[in-house]
Structure 1
Amino acid sequence: MTRAHRHVSRPVAVRIRKHAALLAVTGLALLTACSDTDGDSDSTASASPSVARSEPASATPSVSADPQAAEETAVLKAYSAFWAEQVKAYSKGNTQGTDFAQYAAAEAKSSTEADLKDLRSKGIVTTGAPTHEAEVDRLSSAKQVPSAQLTDCLDSADWKFIYSKTRKPVQMPENRLVRYVTKVDAEKWGKQWKIVNVTPQQDAC
């Protein structure tokens, strides 16, 4: 579901979030090239979202008595949920009826909202879901606001952008990256980890 979209070769997700700042997931500048083709301007999609396969294997390690390990598990689960809810939002064009706000904050939340607004204006939604291989690079739990940095290898090959009315695919550049590195920042607000920034890279993984 989650800035990215300022380069023609960037993956859809990337262009979506950074539409204004990120793949807004975005890009959102991203789908400007395919803006008003297909004559579709309907902002609501009737298709139900595909089951997201975004939870990395590392997000469900065995329970550990190590507080640091427990926090790493929690932040990975929050990141997985962030994507699962974002995929639901992109599949219908808005975050209403999802728990996206529970796992997203700051730029990760605002950029996704901006991206969705842009896609709605073009009558574009998504089908399918990306997959992930995320790991925690650093976690600081001693600060007043605990924070963490993650690196994800996001594969968007099965995450497709389509016109909501015709269900026809949105044409994308053939040389775009579909499997790429994503840098993620998270913060713990109260008892809940939230994703605050997601930055797609132009590096394949």
Structure 2
Amino acid sequence: MTARTTRWAALCAAVPLALALTGCGGGDDGAKPSAAPPAASSPAPAASASVDPDAAEKTAVIASYEAMTREQMKAYRKADAKGTDLEKYATTEALGQIRNDLANMKSAGTVVRGELGHDAEVTELDMEVQTPTATLSDCVDLSGYETYDVKAKKVIPLPKEQPLRYVMTATAQRWDGRWMVTDIDPQGGAGATC
């Protein structure tokens, strides 16, 4: 991969190979099933006891993040933010990161084709602070993503060692009743795959 790639491609390539890949457990740990019958259990708690009081806020955070990523991909497909609504969903710092990407793409003569998959969840939510803040963990899927060199008319392949799915993080804050993405950290998952 050369310096003539988009930030996404560069960020994807930045996932350190030295980190061990992590995954979900579930393998046989050598434990044998018990021959004893299961003990009687108390009735399950009422469904209302397990309702997340912050579910509506978490849904709003995800909706804002997903809207920002859609607008981001619109900009990356043409290496230009004109005609997008990025300002509705991202603050100055997050917009600065995206604008740097676009400037690098224009300089390199690249655009993005395909889709960058996302599967985000809110991992932290603090509604008690003056400016409510949320942290998101996003499983990014590169399987439908391509960096395309417009001048050479060819796809720039991802490095062979690049996982097609990895974890990144983002931060959002609630401003004037709506959630805004304030930071995007492609290496926030510390190289974890998903």
TM-score by length of 1: 0.66
Q: CA deviation at 1:93?
A: 0.4
CA distance in 2, matches of 1:179, 1:157: 8
Letter of the 2:78 counterpart: K
- Partner secondary structure for residue 116 of structure 1: helix
Match of 2:8 among 6, 13, 16: 13
Task: Tell me what 1:184 maps to.
Answer: 170
CA distance in 2, matches of 1:15, 1:146: 32
Letter of the 2:82 counterpart: Q
Letter of the 1:110 counterpart: G
Alpha-carbon distance change, 119 to 12 in structure 1, aligned in 2, over 3 angstroms = closer
Task: Tell me what 1:199 maps to.
Answer: 185
Unaligned runs of 5+ in 2: 1-5, 15-50
Could you tell me whether the CA contact under 8 Å between 2:171 and 2:182 is conserved in 1? yes
Once superposed, what is the RMSD of the aligned Cα atoms?
A: 2.4
Q: CA deviation at 1:164?
A: 2.4
Q: CA deviation at 1:13?
A: 2.2
Task: Tell me what 2:131 maps to.
Answer: 145
Letter of the 1:161 counterpart: T
Letter of the 2:133 counterpart: S
Alpha-carbon distance change, 75 to 14 in structure 1, aligned in 2, over 3 angstroms = farther
Post-superposition Cα deviations, 1:160-204, rounded to whole Å, max 9, x if no partner, equal 110224541024321112210011111111122111111123221
Could you tell me whether the CA contact under 8 Å between 2:91 and 2:181 is conserved in 1? yes
Unaligned runs of 5+ in 1: 1-10, 17-22, 28-64
- In the TM superposition, what are the counterparts of 1:1-205 in structure 2 within 5 Å? 13=8, 15-16=10-11, 68-201=54-187, 202-205=191-194
Could you tell me whether the CA contact under 8 Å between 2:134 and 2:172 is conserved in 1? yes
Q: CA deviation at 1:14?
A: 6.0
Could you tell me whether the CA contact under 8 Å between 2:7 and 2:101 is conserved in 1? no
CA distance in 1, matches of 2:53, 2:71: 27
Q: CA deviation at 1:67?
A: 5.8
Task: Tell me what 2:33 maps to.
Answer: none
CA distance in 1, matches of 2:69, 2:109: 22
TM-score by length of 2: 0.70
CA distance in 1, matches of 2:121, 2:92: 21
Q: Percent identity?
A: 35
CA distance in 1, matches of 2:64, 2:74: 15
